[in-house]
Amino acid sequence: MKPLKAVLLDRDGVLNVNRQGHVLSLADWEWLPQALRACRRLSAAGLRLAVVTNQAVVGRGVLAEEQLHAIHRRMKDDLLTAGVAVDEVWYCPHEATAGCACRKPEPGLLLRALASLDVGPHEAVMVGDHKSDLLAAAAAGVASVHVRTGRGAPPTGDIRGYIGSVPDLDAAAVLLAALA
């Protein structure tokens, strides 16, 4: 692996509490306890951050795109207040049945993020809480780390570029800052 330049973060279950009923409003947004500290650690190591998230609630008509943008603005504002800049938030609004190239486990979101950040796949790591995050990373040629703060246990099976599973984003940040 080349020196690490960027970290691609899933949103729900990595940065914020993964709610059963989804994050549908600003009131539903709840940072995971260690997430802001972890993002500061990654940023202090010189790593660029981008968020890549499936948001099928938009495609299903449950959440208006304007409200999703408001949630993401708040997330980015909270990060800025903590001294962390997020380069971009990429999201897939499509339902699982849409067959799009951007919904994880497809690599589209990650490839767009890499192009926007101007980093190669071997200079980035994806941090996610679900096997679909890790499969998207593998399809994009990006290494991956699983966190257990979202949907639980690490995935089974062989996933190309999979580094391993850690308890939370802060543990991932310690690991990844050492690779910067």
Task: Tell whether residue 92 is among the known ligand binding residues.
Answer: yes
Q: What pLDDT, on the 0 to 100 scale, is given for residue 108? A: 97
Q: What pLDDT, on the 0 to 100 scale, is given for residue 156? A: 87
Task: Tell whether residue 69 is among the known ligand binding residues.
Answer: no
Q: With left for phi above 0 and alpha for psi between -120 and 50, is residue 118 left, alpha or beta?
A: left
Task: Tell whether residue 102 is among the known ligand binding residues.
Answer: yes
Calpha distance 71→23 (Å, rounded): 8
pTM: 0.96
Calpha distance 151→54 (Å, rounded): 14
Q: What is the mean pLDDT of residues 98-109?
A: 95
**Annotation says 10 is catalytic:** yes
Q: What pLDDT, on the 0 to 100 scale, is given for residue 153? A: 84
- Domains annotated for the chain, with CATH where assigned, are 6-177 (3.40.50.1000)
In tens, the pLDDT along 115-174 reads 999 999 999 999 999 999 999 999 999 999 999 999 878 888 889 999 999 999 999 999
Q: Determine the Cα angle at 155 with ends 47 and 55, to 5°.
A: 65
In tens, the pLDDT along 63-85 reads 999 999 999 999 999 999 999 99
Q: What pLDDT, on the 0 to 100 scale, is given for residue 118? A: 96
